[in-house]
Structure 1
Amino acid sequence: MNLMQTHIPATARNAVALNTITYAIGQSAIGKILAARSHIGVCAILIGSGAEALEQDLASRFPGKVLVEDKAALCDDLAAIARFIETPGAGLDLPLDMRHGTPFQQRVWEVLRAIPCGATITYTALARHLGQPNGARAVATACAANAIALGIPCHRVVRTDGTLSGYRWGIERKRALLDKEAQI
């Protein structure tokens, strides 16, 4: 063993790995996209106009995590996300890490993942599906807390009258995503 080599115990290496999120930023038809992965899977897909704002959003969503930019490691994820935006019928088959939400949020997100491409659901109908007929606001809050845009398709949730509302990454992007999915 080289005397200059630093020995890091396996438990410490594992702790660092468990606390690390790798991320990369790419371009898509609806703006810049940030993809981030934990050791479990994709934990964030963020959409925006500027890289710095996306990095700040990631840091605020995962306080205390070690954030490491690694475009090479995430180039396939970025390509899959950009392809999904252009051709939503192809699906977005990425392993997701949805642990960063409350149990209720996770239940909402699971139901959202079951909504077929091209379909929508209302906040009220989603709340009823979860056994909470008066929980439309709680569903909207869970959608707003979603860090995995597109992977958890909160853009498919609409008001009772069918109009668009409250998309974290902008109503224009929500409309563009739904319009593209309607073409399937």
Structure 2
Amino acid sequence: MTTTHVIRVDSPVGRIEVVANDTAITALAIECDGALPHDGLPESEVPVLAEARRQLDEYFSGARIAFDLPLELRGTPFQRDVWRELRRLDWGEAISYGALATAVGRPGSARAIGGAVGANPVPIIIGCHRVLASDGRITGYSGGQGVPTKMWLLGHERIGFAA
């Protein structure tokens, strides 16, 4: 049986909860309406979570542009392909749903791509906020307070978007 470890980090987009097993990050949630999924669990300091805290603090301070954390993500093969492609995006770089669909070998499947992007278990670490509509518009965001959270993250990385 795997032990679940949790830490919480204060950030400009609200509290962030990072979940890990003994060796890898398994989930990240951004506070929504004052709540996090595991608010009832006590925090535990394991090395992988201490490193996640450090890297998140650096990201929000502007000192880090890429995350280097062990991840253990559960999803369908299609979702994992999408998340792997998202990891290739650099800080400050955006992609459209259509271009992402083409990159994973599924041209014309932008709607399915949207579902996989929205199911990303580790937003921010895997920059799903970097996905925009083909005309540069923000079409939604499942983390934190939704679109305002995505707008903040895009602004932090100096990624332009259409209103």
The residue number in structure 2 matching 1:72 is: 45
- 2-structure distance, mates of 1:37, 1:150: 15
The CA RMSD over aligned residues, in Å, is 2.1
73-82 or 174-183: bigger deviation: 73-82
The TM-score, its normalising length taken from structure 2, stands at 0.85
Structure-2 change in CA distance of 1:173 and 1:151 (3 Å): same
Return the alpha-carbon distance in structure 2 between the equivalents of residues 45 and 68 of structure 1. 14
Code of the residue aligned with 2:19 in structure 1: it is A
2:36 aligned counterpart, secondary structure: helix
Q: Mean Cα displacement is larger for which, 121-130 or 20-29?
A: 20-29
1:175 is the counterpart of 2:148: no
- What's 2:72 paired with? 97
Could you give the per-residue CA deviations for residues 83-135 of structure 1, whole angstroms, max 9, x where no partner exists?
A: 2123164322111112x100000000000000111010000010011121111
1:34 corresponds in structure 2 to: 17
Deviation at 1:142, TM superposition (A): 0.4
Alignment map for 1:15-164 (pairs within 5 Å): 16=1, 19-49=2-32, 52-55=35-38, 69-73=42-46, 74-87=49-62, 89-98=64-73, 100-164=74-138
Q: Is the Cα contact below 8 Å between 1:47 and 1:54 reproduced in 2?
A: no
Structure 1: 5+ residue runs without aligned partners?
1-15, 57-66
Deviations 1:47-105 (A, max 9, x none): 1146643327xxxxxxxxxx96333323442232132123164322111112x100000
Cα deviation, residue 23, structure 1: 0.9
Could you tell me whether the CA contact under 8 Å between 2:30 and 2:36 is conserved in 1? no
Question: Is the strand fraction higher in 1 or 2?
Answer: 1
d(CA) in 2 for partners of 1:140, 1:34 = 23
* Structure 2: segments with no counterpart, 5+ residues: none
Distance 2:11 2:122 in 1: 16
Q: Percent identity?
A: 31
The structure-2 alpha-carbon separation of the partners of 1:151 and 1:182, relative to structure 1 and needing over 3 Å to count, comes to same
Q: TM-score, normalised by structure 1?
A: 0.76
Mapped to 1, the partners of 2:12 and 2:28 lie a distance apart of 15
Q: Tell me, what secondary structure is at the counterpart of 1:90?
A: coil
Of Structure 1 and Structure 2, which has the larger fraction of its residues in helix? Answer: 1
Q: Residue 25 of structure 1 contacts residue 51 of structure 1 at CA under 8 Å; is this kept in 2?
A: no
> Could you tell me how far 1:38 is from its partner in structure 2?
1.9
Work out the number of aligned pairs and report it. 155
The residue identity in structure 2 corresponding to 1:181 is E
Q: Distance in 2 between matches of 1:145 and 1:90?
A: 23
